[in-house]
């Protein structure tokens, strides 16, 4: 069952990516898994590879200082500034 879900997820991402190519830069998508910094270093490499392959998602640890700006900066980059910020201050 897991292999079927992996294959379906990968096929969905590939089809969606091919559709996005026709939109030039009017529509962009990004995936990222955010974790506490001390956790991200302990995630198994094969799981990170799986996330990247199937979901085109990277894993990144959140900085203790200003994690909101870290996420919002990534969002600005992925959307080429079309979305300036998604989150307000997190405490």
Tell me how far the alpha carbon of residue 6 is from its chain's centroid. Answer: 17
pLDDT band with cut points at 50, 70 and 90 for residue 64: confident
Q: What is the pLDDT of residue 71?
A: 92
**Which has more pLDDT, 35 or 40?**
35
What's the CA gap between 18 and 35, in Å, rounded?
Answer: 29
Q: What is the pLDDT of residue 73?
A: 93
**Of 75, 69, 60, 72, residue with least CA distance to 29:** 75
At residue 31, what are phi and psi to the nearest 5 degrees? -125, 135
Q: Write the DSSP symbol of residue 64.
A: S
pLDDT band with cut points at 50, 70 and 90 for residue 37: confident
Mean pLDDT in residue range 42-62: 88
**What's the token pair of residue 19?**
């559709």
CB-based contacts of 82, cutoff 8 Å, min separation 6? 28
Q: What is the pLDDT of residue 4?
A: 60
């Amino acid at each position: 069952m897991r292999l079927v879900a992996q294959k379906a997820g990968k096929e969905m991402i590939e089809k969606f990516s091919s559709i996005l190519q026709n939109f030039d830069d009017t529509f962009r998508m990004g995936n990222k898994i955010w974790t506490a910094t001390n956790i991200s270093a302990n995630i198994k490499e094969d799981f990170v590879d799986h996330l990247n392959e199937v979901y085109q998602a990277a894993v990144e640890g959140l900085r203790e200082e200003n994690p909101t700006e870290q996420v919002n900066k990534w969002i600005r980059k992925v959307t080429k500034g079309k979305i300036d910020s998604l989150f307000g201050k997190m405490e």
